[in-house]
Amino acid sequence: MEYSRPIYLDYNATTPVDPRVLDAMLPWFTEQFGNAASRTHLYGWEAADAVAHARQQVARLIGASEKEIIFTSGATEANNLALKGTFEALGAQKNHIVTVATEHKAVFDTCQHLEALGAEVTYLMPASDGLITLEQLENALRPDTLLVSVMYANNEIGVIQPIADIGRLCRERVIIFHTDATQAVGKIPVDVARDNIDLLSLSAHKLYGPKGIGALYVRKGIKLTAQLDGGRHERGLRSGTLNVPGIVGLGKACQLAGTSMLEEEKRLSILRDRLENEILNAVIDTHVNGNRTYRLPQTTNISFENVDGEALLMSFNRIAVSNGSACTSALIEPSYVLKALGVPDDLAHASVRFSLGRFTREADVEETIAHVRDVVERLRR
């Protein structure tokens, strides 16, 4: 018996590679396989040209200059380089870092690592809607604050922090501002100049590019200590032979996002709103987690009361969704993001993130609404 694949509504976890991105990448595996650092022959020159072109495509999407883009293996590495690199370069002068309790683990755990090395870290608690306020941040700043790291948009609930205001405040106080913009880039307009961002992390596989490639934007003049020693690639900030096919794919993905973003934002927000509203209407005792205004266009996180969370996820066999729980050995820990919003453990377990994307169709949404209603009704009986 053959099973059809479930409807994919987990685009915040990863996206498929867009076929146009794959087409752009393919020659760089085979005929044009050169090392971008080879300076003595055509193979190297053409690879270096392709990397330069991709660097422009990435820079253009976020309003940066191509000299400010450092390719990494993804956003995890970009976050590590941003935080550890800043602390290592300047931590002897100032060692206080401000971040938020709902950051992705790649920022949160890096901050914990830096605490063990002598950094003092303040973890801001968001309000129950997932947002922090400017006053809250302002009150946390100290004369010895080196760095503020606040994610642009949250991967689990989609809320968008007041990044432009945070950037302005940090610039006034001469504090370095890093943002993990992995969920924002390609979905909503991001501009490092408008928002006064000094360091920004992004990842290709969240915007229809391949896994294992990303970038850190480093504003001109910002000092960082490299975390990998070696051939001094990427202006000495990230040694290692460049992943040319991956970089070409990231560049193409950024170019496509730039041309389709506004249209996609509109289309997906209509589909997301329909999904959300119809689930809330069809299933009683449900509510949305996080601020519904300052939010990504294609994410909704919904809590279902009076159902067992594990049974709920197990019963969703027609859709691929997630709920932010983490398996720590035998225990299933509820999402720390929802916990930080004050959602009780049992309700956090029974919360579901639906994240839509480029290949989500109206029929997928209709089928999902019916499936969710059927599953929750059955479980509640």
Ligand X SMILES: *Cc1c(COP(=O)(O)O)cnc(C)c1O
| Catalytic residue IDs | 327
For the chain, the helix, strand and coil percentages under 3-state DSSP, each to the nearest 5: 40, 15, 40
Interaction between residue 255 and ligand X (CB under 6 A): no
Phi, psi for 92 (deg, rounded to 5): -70, -25
Interaction between residue 148 and ligand X (CB under 6 A): no
Tokens of 254: 């950024």
Beta carbons of 126 and 101 less than 8 angstroms apart = yes
Cα(166)–Cα(150) distance, rounded to whole angstroms?
Answer: 8
Residue number of the CB atom closest to ligand X: 74
Residue 203 vs 368, nearer CB to ligand X: 203
Binding mask 56-85 for ligand X (x = CB under 6 A): ------------------xxx---------
Angle between helices 105-116 and 75-90 (to 10 degrees): 30
Cα(306)–Cα(247) distance, rounded to whole angstroms?
Answer: 47
Residue 167 vs 324, nearer CB to ligand X: 324
Angle between helices 362-380 and 244-282 (to 10 degrees): 50
Determine if residue 156 is left, alpha or beta; phi over 0 gives left, psi from -120 to 50 gives alpha, anything else beta.
alpha
| Minimum CB distance to ligand X, residue 205 (Å) | 6
The strand order across the sheet containing 299-304 reads 286-288, 299-304, 351-355
Beta carbons of 306 and 380 less than 8 angstroms apart = yes
By CB under 6 A, what part of segment 189-248 binds ligand X? 203, 206, 214
Pick the binder of ligand X from 10, 18, 68, 180 (CB under 6 A): 180
| Minimum CB distance to ligand X, residue 183 (Å) | 5
By CB under 6 A, what part of segment 96-115 binds ligand X? 104, 106
Interaction between residue 301 and ligand X (CB under 6 A): no
| Minimum CB distance to ligand X, residue 16 (Å) | 15
By CB under 6 A, what part of segment 310-349 binds ligand X? none
| Minimum CB distance to ligand X, residue 299 (Å) | 11
| Minimum CB distance to ligand X, residue 106 (Å) | 5
Pick the binder of ligand X from 15, 95, 155, 243 (CB under 6 A): 155
Q: What's the 3-state SS for 234-260?
A: HHHCCCCCCCHHHHHHHHHHHHHHHHH
Interaction between residue 183 and ligand X (CB under 6 A): yes
| Minimum CB distance to ligand X, residue 180 (Å) | 5
Pick the binder of ligand X from 151, 176, 319, 376 (CB under 6 A): 151
- Given the rule CB under 6 A, which of 31-39, 161-169, 175-183, 279-287 is the region that contacts ligand X? 175-183
Tokens of 66: 């191509």
Residues that bind ligand X (CB under 6 A): 74-76, 104, 106, 151, 155, 180, 182-183, 203, 206, 214
